[in-house]
Amino acid sequence: MNYVKTLGATLLASVAFISAVSACEVTLRSSDTHPEGYPTVVAVQKMGEMLEERTDGRLCIEVFHSAQLGQEKDTIEQTQFGVIDMNRVSLGPFNNIIEKTQVPSLPFIFRSVDHMHKVMDGPVGQQILDAFSDHDLVGLAFYDGGSRSFYNSQKPIRSIEDLAGMKFRVMQSDIFVDMVSALGANATPMPYGEVYSSIQTGVIDGAENNWPSYDSSGHFEVAGYYTLNEHLIVPEVLVMAKASFDKLSPEDQDIVRQAARDSVSVMRELWQEREKVSEDRVRAAGVEIITDIDKTPFIEAMVPVYQKYVTSPKLQQMVADIQATE
Ligand code: GTR
């Protein structure tokens, strides 16, 4: 009897699922490197619910989480080709493609997460979103990526001197390679999905990331020293393939843009909660957290990085505008 009941319930659920999915005329496929339940994944799913409701089922989103569609650099290309409809990625992997994304990716450019929000919610953020249109993409919204700090498998890092000669994975962006070199360490750009095994096998000593990624990737299991030097506050971005966007009516395009904007506050709230949960989890696992760190030498060491990247008057103006944002 119980078995029959359960079977009945399962069948009903799957019928409901099929009709929910098939009720959508267009299901947009969205990529994310993070697992189910991660704030970026949930925020895009919520955006999908908004779309379905606001378009009477004309549009839905299916999030392919856990890098099911590939690592970020590859999925960006596929989104440019229109093979993937939407993508939630860090701005980092865009640095070598879209020059303006370099500015918010500079080390220590933002004074705090609040400062980053004010800048990215304002005219500088809009300029950057607009820049995606020259690259077969539509920039929809910025999400949070917290602050990134170094972690490694070898020893507690308390100063720049401790970093000397160590090997760190960075995202695939030249800025981050130069940032690590300027700190006297060696950078290895590689996809996120290869970091765990590379630390485990000693190919690299460590990497750098925020609390939720350090936790959800399991990197804390193989790199048990985390130094909160907070060198980067890199925003994340939600983009759409221009090819997919152009297929929509102007009305639906507006609905997509608005739903993306509305998903930002959902994401920020989830992010704040998740940062605490991840910090607690990592601390409970016995990771050594180094908080007593003087950031001034790290900031001073970044002068050559700014000199190399902030060369055109356009980018110099953008840096000045960010610094002037209160
Ligand atoms: C995470 C970010 C991902 C990815 C990853 C990485 O913080 O959310 O989009 O960029 O870092 O380091 O590759």
Give dist(CA 176, CA 307) in Å, integer. Answer: 14
Report CA(250)–ligand 1 centroid distance (Å): 32
Strand order in the sheet with 137-143: 59-64, 26-31, 86-90, 236-241, 137-143
pLDDT at 23: 77
> Which residue minimizes the CA distance to atom 2 of ligand 1?
90
- Mode of pairing for the β-strands spanning 206-209 and 148-152: antiparallel
In the numeric block, which tokens belong to residue 159? 């100063």
Please report the atom of ligand 1 found closest to the CA of residue 234: 7
Report CA(142)–ligand 1 centroid distance (Å): 14
From 209, 220, 267, the mutation candidate for ligand 1 (largest count of ligand atoms within 8 A of CB) is 209
The pTM assigned to this predicted structure is 0.93
Query: Among residues 124, 176, 173, 174, which one has the least CA distance to residue 314?
Result: 124
pLDDT at 110 over 80: yes
From 33, 71, 168, the mutation candidate for ligand 1 (largest count of ligand atoms within 8 A of CB) is 33
Q: With b meaning 16 or more CB within 10 Å and e meaning fewer, what string describes 220-255?
A: bebbbbbbebbbbbbbbbbbbbbbbbeebeeebeeb
- Mode of pairing for the β-strands spanning 26-31 and 59-64: parallel
* Average pLDDT of the residues in 50-70: 98
> Which residue minimizes the CA distance to atom 13 of ligand 1?
192
| Secondary structure of residue 292 in the 3-state scheme | coil
Please report the atom of ligand 1 found closest to the CA of residue 213: 7
CB atoms within 10 A of CB 116: 24
Q: What is the pLDDT of residues 167-181, one digit of tens each?
A: 999 999 999 999 999
In the numeric block, which tokens belong to residue 122? 């304002």
Task: For residue 19, name the pLDDT band (cuts at 50, 70, 90).
Answer: very low
Helices marked H in the chain — which ranges?
2-22, 39-54, 72-80, 113-120, 123-131, 160-163, 174-182, 195-200, 211-216, 219-222, 242-246, 250-284, 296-300, 303-309, 313-324
Please report the atom of ligand 1 found closest to the CA of residue 146: 7
pLDDT at 277 over 90: yes
pLDDT at 8: 47
> Which residue minimizes the CA distance to atom 4 of ligand 1?
90
Task: For residue 22, name the pLDDT band (cuts at 50, 70, 90).
Answer: low
From 151, 192, 199, 237, the mutation candidate for ligand 1 (largest count of ligand atoms within 8 A of CB) is 192
Give dist(CA 184, CA 161) in Å, integer. Answer: 8
Q: What is the pLDDT of residues 70-89, one digit of tens each?
A: 999 999 999 999 999 999 99
Cβ < 6 A, ligand 1 pocket: 33, 72, 89-90, 92, 145, 171, 192, 209-210, 213, 236
Report CA(98)–ligand 1 centroid distance (Å): 18
Q: With b meaning 16 or more CB within 10 Å and e meaning fewer, what string describes 279-314?
A: bebbeeeebeebeebeeeebeebbeebbeebbeeee
